[in-house]
Amino acid sequence: MAKGQKYNEDLKEKAIALLTVNNSVSFVARELKLPRTTINSWKADFDKKARENGEDEIVKLRQKKKEQFVEDAWRLVDKVKTILERRLDRAIQSEDKMDELLEEILQLDYKQLTVQQRKALYTRISALKIEDIKALSTVLGTLYDKQALANKEATQIVDFSYDNVMKMINSGEDY
């Protein structure tokens, strides 16, 4: 673009919005196909006006957006946990019903059951919803990892002390 070219206010607003989400001037410049110097200038102008008016600068706006995102993420995690708890409760109830039904079947002489009685047993068995334990454990593990990451904690057990590293190096182990 030509030096000193005028841009419309919508483009400036879009650049500022992108900067509040992603502080990279280079990224915003590439995204909008504008010179980095133009984006830097708009950023400086925005921050100057914000300070003069007692408003938040881009850095503070971005921090507020991050905080809102984390807050929203925790709210969603709570909803997922509620769903997971309900599914686990239903799984326990289904398992209990399955145990009762199996006990009842073991006491029957299956050869003496009528077709209607057999159909009734099949209906009762098929009505039981058995939860996929693998899927439930995956959800649980993912939630745990996400919560740990949000709290800036390790998502795996890490014992990376100097002494342990030296022991691994001396023994030829990978670290």
Sequence-separated contacts (24+) of 77-81 with Cβ below 8 Å: 77/143, 77/146, 77/147, 80/139, 80/143, 81/143
Which pLDDT tens digit goes with each residue over 70-114?
788 778 878 888 888 888 888 888 888 888 888 888 787 777 888
pLDDT < 70 regions, the chain: 1-5, 131, 156-162, 164-165, 168, 173-175
**For residue 174, what pLDDT is reported?**
58
| 68 burial level (CB within 10 Å; 0-12, 13-18, 19+) | exposed
> By C-alpha distance, which of 87, 20, 27, 30 is closest to 55?
20
**For residue 1, what pLDDT is reported?**
45
> By C-alpha distance, which of 76, 49, 14, 35 is closest to 22?
14
Cα gap 138→55, rounded to integer Å: 44
**For residue 74, what pLDDT is reported?**
79
**For residue 41, what pLDDT is reported?**
92
**For residue 4, what pLDDT is reported?**
60
Q: Is the dihedral of CA 81, 87, 90, 96 positive or negative?
A: negative
Instruction: Indicate the pTM of the whole model.
Output: 0.46
